[in-house]
Chains A and B, each alone.
Chain A
Amino acid sequence: AAGVIQSPRHLIKEKRETATLKCYPIPRHDTVYWYQQGPGQDPQFLISFYEKMQSDKGSIPDRFSAQQFSDYHSELNMSSLELGDSALYFCASRSRDRTGYTFGSGTRLTVV
């Protein structure tokens, strides 16, 4: 069965650089969520999209932005990277029956 695909798996950036993370949801899932998981922390909700429109916003810094495209893939854009942005970033998609969330394997971002 198709899963949520995230790319890249690993990313190393320097401070003040920009990064773009991509997420390809399961086909016919209509909602995408982005989460940030710092070392030893639980996943924290950043932002979500329903049918390509932003549906909810969590603790996402102003330096970050995201969008969902016509093919339902989503991108998380991160600018002016800081050391504290080093984390595992997960994307999840949700089925139309509203009961299933499926997570991707995550992108590990390291800011040096």
Chain B
Amino acid sequence: AQSVTQLGSHVSVSEGALVLLRCNYSSSVPPYLFWYVQYPNQGLQLLLKYTSAATLVKGINGFEAEFKKSETSFHLTKPSAHMSDAAEYFCAVSFGNEKLTFGTGTRLTIIP
């Protein structure tokens, strides 16, 4: 079965610093990979997705992620953190017509 692992349930970065949230997947077939952001008491908002086109994917709010098959990774980055980036981030994977399977999430805290 497909799965994703998010390393680090909590990540803190200073405002203006690089944001790096890690996601590794396990799969025997090419996956579709997603990053979602969830603000407190709100729904899941799609940041970006990889669907077997370009390996470097640019998303909303300045985020991007690179699909690295050799490392089975899909880490999320942002060059300069803003206070408004504080939220919970979920990596998710799907295969073909199957459901999305989520990682356990990473809570991002921005230090002023």
Check if A98 sits within 8 Å of B43, measured CB to CB: no
Whole-angstrom distance between the alpha carbons of A56 and B49 in the complex? Answer: 22
The stretch from A17-25, A69-77, A79-87, A101-109 touching chain B is A101-109
Which residues of A approach B to under 8 Å, CB–CB?
A: 31, 33, 42-45, 48, 50, 55-56, 58, 90, 92, 98-106, 108
Distance (whole angstroms) from the CB of A69 to the closest CB of chain B: 20
**With A100-B49, A103-B44, A105-B43 in contact, is A45–B99 under 8 Å at CB?**
yes
Which residues of B approach A to under 8 Å, CB–CB?
A: 32, 34, 36, 41-46, 49, 51, 90, 94, 96-105
**With A90-B44, A105-B42 in contact, is A42–B97 under 8 Å at CB?**
no
Partner of B43, one of A45, A48, A100, A103: A103
**With A48-B99, A56-B99, A101-B100 in contact, is A106–B43 under 8 Å at CB?**
yes
Max chain B CB contacts within 10 Å: which of A31, A33, A98? A98
**With A33-B99, A50-B97, A92-B100 in contact, is A42–B42 under 8 Å at CB?**
no
Residues of chain B with a CB closer than 8 A to A98's CB = 32, 96-97
Residues of chain A with a CB closer than 8 A to B44's CB = 43, 90, 92, 103
Check if A33 sits within 8 Å of B97, measured CB to CB: no
Whole-angstrom distance between the alpha carbons of A42 and B9 in the complex? Answer: 11
Whole-angstrom distance between the alpha carbons of A101 and B93 in the complex? Answer: 11
Distance (whole angstroms) from the CB of B48 to the closest CB of chain A: 12
Residues of chain B with a CB closer than 8 A to A105's CB = 42-43
Check if A43 sits within 8 Å of B90, measured CB to CB: yes
Q: Can you add 12 more A-B contacts, CB < 8 Å, to A42-B102, A101-B94?
A: A31-B97, A33-B99, A42-B104, A42-B105, A43-B100, A45-B100, A50-B97, A55-B97, A99-B49, A100-B46, A101-B46, A103-B45
Max chain B CB contacts within 10 Å: which of A43, A50, A58? A43
Residues of chain B with a CB closer than 8 A to A55's CB = 97
Distance (whole angstroms) from the CB of B96 to the closest CB of chain A: 7
